[in-house]
Chains A and B, each alone.
Chain A
């Protein structure tokens, strides 16, 4: 399987690409975010949104692309009712960036760089509403809220070799775009859309087969399914002696198959030409340097840093980087704290916090336990005020009451007993009450220590400091 992906991603700007209308029309009343410019009234002219260019440039920089010193906007001409000017302003021969790549972690743990061929900036079209609740209606309505919303199209080289690789690439891409703040990439809102070019070739061959372009694949899972289907379809055709036609196919997610939409011969002639209404876009080096400096740390670099600086496990580093809000949560809790903080903090976040949030169906942003509270909880465990078990209890309570962990420790009476004399007493009592275990321990069966520890904890109502208990048991049976 040989796959190249084209991903459209909506930029998170305040306004549209060529006019001042708000870029928040999804789910809003139809045609409530429109003006003469984005509905193609006569006499209007486009004015490029600077913020959209900044976000597009940052996406390109994050994807290791080269920015063109000068790029050109072109008109892509075709008739459709959702395209008010009957042309889309896009970029054709001279896109703003080319030649990048994204390091993608594959399911088997290995890494692969998927090369990016180009990224260009363009405007979205409106949306046709065919289903409006009545079968009597034999016409369609058009909503221009989405018309002229800024998009970038990210086109890979044909570097992807399996549906799993495609899935992994899309996951990594979404992560980067969200991290940089280019887009929310909410696929349900159409903020990220994917077309796939698929062909097949014999293992070991270097000559690509004829490709089919699959459109309308609107979730990562759909991409995977569509690629698998298309792969089998093409192989079946070849094995039964047929040839693959170059064509555009549509993914039907309900029936789980692709269907021919138009052949190469029927392909549109878009009559691209440079848009005379827009001047060339120059990437001023000073401006670009500023945008580059403002880029946040990218997920991959962050994972490596978390793992090396804080000695976190690969798993923890991965989890703590998977979402931007979670990264920010971790960073806030860590701020001004020593390195030793990281590991217990990571543990509490990945096990307690995420587990609980997940159970309640809440997001990080909605967490009742703030990063500051979480840090104070870690502090309480690190200075042995509470045990790790106690920390879990405090967390659970704090999640419900939003109270300060320090206050809760007092309220719940969870302070650990660190007094050696008192703990020694419990140890002696436990050894006496469990003669068999005491004997086993003395003869070197260390597994027996568990029973004694358990007994001590029971006697101390869980308040004895575990490290101290272990130490004193060892001393007692020496």
Chain B
């Protein structure tokens, strides 16, 4: 069996038991990268030399008789907004071109401790703002299922790398759907953990109250493995929860019988592709056959989620991105004659149009005299959205919805229409606004052979339950596999 076909769990077991060397595993993946990357362009930076060294170190550790970690020799791709010490971290933005991370993100530190091998940094929509990875300042990433189409975004590079089997695991970040939507487009598993379950320390902030790092994998078991490594309290992030990943993953094993599944009527609406809706309902039917109880429910404030999100997220972004000022690191404009010119020249040249649009939106929403009408009101809407979920989770255990209204769209299809692009996150945004847990798993292919994503949403720290339901579907009918 080709090593790139293996799951992370299988690789870690084989490497830890000495059946397979980490170096062989890494080599196989870089071979695959060399074959596919020219077409896919998932990576902003490839770390072949570093990865081979790390893999050799893992093998040496085993040779010394030391116990290997849970990710022993597993190749992992990192979205290029997560810091890996000493390695260039760009957020796919010109403003950070050449910036070398001064420290490891907490998630990276934890993966290093479990003997993971980092193979590269993946492309994203600049500063994670977008739903197609077309907003990368460097290049577009193609969807491995159809290279004329987008991989989704903003974690498009990570989703494409895992789908194309260039890595069994990758990390992304999800602020309004940036893990789940590309997972759906690329036919892989993408998990957005509960807000606070995974430390944000070392994740370049887009919208701090919404951002969460989460795993991409090709199986639910692999996603659970990576979450168990990266999750848990971090003293460097005071918004991180005291809950352990073990607590969140309780309920991973067990029956589907009696699981209460809600179908929120606000998520089955005009504008959603019929094929997508059909595949989602078929998956729900499968769960029903396994003993789940299905009922119709309502989240009445859902229609306000996108609007309020586009106040909260840009507001926080306008502040978070202000530090890229050309003074201490990144792009700068030394020819400028005054301080104002430094700022204007740096930020004018460094940020792309979508980032500028959101900075302006956020700056306006926070400005004196408008704060209450915009930011204040959006936060109140957010409370109502969270309350909807609280209410509905008294009736059901999980919600089943489409991850996105459509399968992957073509390059250029929506890039000039920001509103149409924003609506591709209509089903994923509410979960960020409420801070609960959600996952996207493949649930079929369209007639054109494009993956369709099913989203399961659960209460905070219900990752175990979500993965149990996802795993049951995976067992019932294996996830579609990319040929070639």
Chain A contact-residue range equals 20 to 34
Question: For the complex, is B438 an interface residue (Cβ under 8 Å from A)?
Answer: no
Residues of chain A with a CB closer than 8 A to B81's CB: 43
Tell me whether B235 and A47 are in contact (CB under 8 A). Answer: yes
Tell me whether B239 and A81 are in contact (CB under 8 A). Answer: no
Q: Given the interface contacts A269-B367, A271-B363, A271-B368, does A43 sit within 8 Å of B83 by beta carbon?
A: yes
Q: Given the interface contacts A81-B327, A81-B339, A86-B325, does A45 sit within 8 Å of B367 by beta carbon?
A: no
What 0/1 readout, one digit per residue, does chain B (92-120) give for beta carbons within 8 Å of chain A?
A: 00001001011101000000000000000
CA of A39 to CA of B328, assembled, Å: 8
Question: For the complex, is A436 an interface residue (Cβ under 8 Å from B)?
Answer: no
CA of A366 to CA of B215, assembled, Å: 63
Chain A residues 101 to 127 lying within 8 A of chain B, measured CB to CB, are none
Q: Given the interface contacts A39-B328, A40-B328, does A85 sit within 8 Å of B102 by beta carbon?
A: no
Tell me whether A42 and B96 are in contact (CB under 8 A). Answer: yes
Question: For the complex, is A75 an interface residue (Cβ under 8 Å from B)?
Answer: yes
CA of A349 to CA of B328, assembled, Å: 54
Max chain A CB contacts within 10 Å: which of B207, B316, B319?
A: B319
Tell me whether A43 and B202 are in contact (CB under 8 A). Answer: yes
Tell me whether B323 and A85 are in contact (CB under 8 A). Answer: yes
Chain A, residue nearest B235 (CB): A47
Chain A, residue nearest B105 (CB): A43
Tell me the count of chain B residues lying within 8 A, CB to CB, of chain A.
43
Residues of chain A with a CB closer than 8 A to B200's CB: 45
Question: For the complex, is B247 an interface residue (Cβ under 8 Å from A)?
Answer: no
Question: For the complex, is A429 an interface residue (Cβ under 8 Å from B)?
Answer: no
What 0/1 readout, one digit per residue, does chain A (354-385) give for beta carbons within 8 Å of chain B?
A: 00000000000000000000000000000000
Tell me whether B343 and A79 are in contact (CB under 8 A). Answer: yes
Q: Given the interface contacts A84-B323, A85-B323, does A43 sit within 8 Å of B328 by beta carbon?
A: no
CA of A277 to CA of B82, assembled, Å: 17
Residues of chain B with a CB closer than 8 A to A45's CB: 200-201, 236-239
Chain A residues 61 to 106 lying within 8 A of chain B, measured CB to CB, are 75, 77, 79, 81, 84-87
Question: In terms of DSSP, what is the predominant structure of the interface of chain B?
Answer: loop
Q: How far is the CB of A287 from chain B (nearest CB, A)?
A: 17
Residues of chain B with a CB closer than 8 A to A85's CB: 322-323
What 0/1 readout, one digit per residue, does chain B (274-294) give for beta carbons within 8 Å of chain A?
A: 000000000000000000000
Tell me whether B322 and A277 are in contact (CB under 8 A). Answer: no
Chain B, residue nearest A86 (CB): B322
Chain A, residue nearest B329 (CB): A41
Binding site for A on B (CB under 8 A): 81-83, 89, 91, 96, 99, 101-103, 105, 200-205, 207-209, 235-239, 315-316, 318-319, 322-323, 325, 327-329, 339, 343, 363, 366-368, 371, 375
Listed by A's residue number, 29 A-B pairs whose Cβ atoms lie within 8 Å are A39-B328, A41-B329, A42-B83, A42-B101, A43-B101, A43-B202, A43-B204, A43-B205, A44-B201, A44-B202, A45-B200, A45-B201, A45-B236, A45-B238, A77-B322, A81-B325, A81-B339, A85-B323, A87-B319, A87-B322, A142-B327, A271-B368, A271-B371, A273-B319, A273-B375, A276-B207, A276-B209, A277-B205, A278-B238
Besides A77-B366, A79-B325, A276-B239, 19 more A-B contacts (Cβ < 8 Å) are: A41-B102, A41-B103, A42-B91, A42-B204, A43-B203, A44-B201, A45-B201, A45-B237, A47-B236, A77-B319, A79-B343, A84-B323, A84-B327, A86-B323, A142-B327, A271-B371, A276-B209, A277-B238, A277-B239
